[in-house]
Amino acid sequence: MKDEEMVCLFKKEVKYICKRKYYDFTFQARPLSNGCDKINIVTEWVAVSPYTGKKVYVDDTKIHDVEGSDWQTFTGFIGVGDGHLENLVFSVYAPASKSNFEIRDAQIKMSCVDDLSVSDFGENSEGSLYGLNCSYTDVPGYSVSKEFIWYKNSVDTDDPDGWVKVGTGEKLTFAQLGPDNEGFYRVVMKDNNGDDSFGPCAVMSESFKVAIDYCGVCDTTYTTLFADTVCAGQKYTGHGFTVNSANSGTADFVQNELSVCGCDSIVTLQLTGLPSSNTTQLLWLENGDTVSYAGETYTKPGTYFQNTVTDSVCEKRMIVVRKKQGVSLCDSLDIVPDKVLVLGDDNLGRWHIGGIENFPRTKVSIYNRNGRLLWEGVNYNDESGWDGTYHGNPLPSTDYWFVISSEECDRVKVGHLTLLRDSR
């Protein structure tokens, strides 16, 4: 096969499982001294018949002249008309007496093209003309007719399942780019080997993602409007806004989020602060029964609070539940509490309840608007009554609830009073 006096400069064995009809080779060589030398290119392979499956060992030797001291490129191919190759061995030899050669960039290729890749053209906005190009580099010295097949998948994967043929040719064009065109694309080259399937034996590009740019050029301002309500004076959080204390009435809050395609996105919140309404309701339990009011059922005596928010008002309702004792009821609890308690800087003063001295065993309870018990006392009078404090600490100017109950009568008086602090 080769002369014993030949020295091997390069050797490569290829054991591809793909049933290729041919392989391309390329390398560069130069002698280390001037003159005319020769190298031998030796190829060995097993040819498999497509009809009988019989395997035949084949070798081939070609002698090439190498002149001068510059790098020279050698290309060629090894192939069969029918069947396919197996166990290709590619070698480069030189005579032992003239083996001072350099070899570089030696490659065995499965295809007659290099660098098969995909690029796009046109605008990738919806409805625009858009498409994909395949590009490649021919292997020097060898040219064959080529056919290109385009595959598409909704996901980027090397698994052949899911890839569908969608076109042929060096270009794939979308006259009007739409959502159905979005996905991942690859192009496969069919050459003399005849293999155009998606898989490890294919001459195939990397995947290219097609996605519509739904923004395009920012030539508009996107606007969004939200409307909401909150009880006046309360904190509001929602739709990306925070308002620490909402005023009564409707106010607009605006912010630029710059969140739609990088374009201006103006978001407006129309926030309405609802007024508050304080109401009271007295309920009686008879013979151990339950009593219901405004969707709530009560089984035990006590003081309860309900908060109801409608489209127009925030209602705070105090529910007082008492148990009838089966005794004669007084016609009325004839006491008249002041509606306002005014305190100066000295914090001196008591809440006055007119006529309460006639009912010595009355109990007075003061609550804040959230239903928290702030003060409670019996045998109420102007000297020991409520002074507008909670555990000795002055309370702010606002509305408070009161409950006045009498042991003499199964009667309860409920309502609210206003605490004012006069700083003049």
Q: How confident is the model at residue 168 (pLDDT cuts 50, 70, 90)?
A: very high
d(CA 314, CA 293): 18
- Structural domain range at position 92: 6-109
| 300 plus 410 within the same structural domain | yes
| 52 plus 130 within the same structural domain | no
Residue 242 has pLDDT above 70, yes or no: yes
Helix (H, G, I), strand (E, B) or coil at 175: coil
What is the average per-residue pLDDT within 357-380? 83
pLDDT at position 328: 40
> Is residue 1 a part of any domain in this protein?
no
Each residue of 26-35: pLDDT tens digit? 788 887 765 5
Residue 41 has pLDDT above 50, yes or no: yes
| 33 plus 140 within the same structural domain | no
What is the average per-residue pLDDT within 351-369? 80
What is the average per-residue pLDDT within 39-60? 76
| 396 plus 286 within the same structural domain | yes
Residue bearing tokens 């507008």: 388
Of 87, 80, 24, nearest to 51 by C-alpha is 80
> Is residue 294 a part of any domain in this protein?
yes
What phi, psi does 350 have (nearest 5°)? -130, 150
d(CA 413, CA 322): 11
pLDDT at position 331: 46
What is the average per-residue pLDDT within 286-314? 80
For residue 69, count other CB atoms closer than 10 A to its CB: 12
Each residue of 380-398: pLDDT tens digit? 877 788 888 898 888 888 8
| 102 plus 203 within the same structural domain | no
DSSP state of 409: S
> Is residue 217 a part of any domain in this protein?
no
Count of domains forming the chain: 4
Residue 263 has pLDDT above 70, yes or no: no
Of 233, 272, 243, 274, nearest to 370 by C-alpha is 233
Q: How confident is the model at residue 207 (pLDDT cuts 50, 70, 90)?
A: very high
Q: How confident is the model at residue 332 (pLDDT cuts 50, 70, 90)?
A: very low
Mean pLDDT across the chain: 78
Residue 166 has pLDDT above 90, yes or no: yes
d(CA 295, CA 305): 13
CATH number at residue 193: 2.60.40.10
> Is residue 80 a part of any domain in this protein?
yes
Each residue of 82-132: pLDDT tens digit? 666 677 787 888 777 666 778 887 777 655 556 788 999 998 888 889 999
Helices of type H across 242-316? none
Q: What is the dihedral of CA 311, 402, 344, 393, to 10 degrees?
A: -100
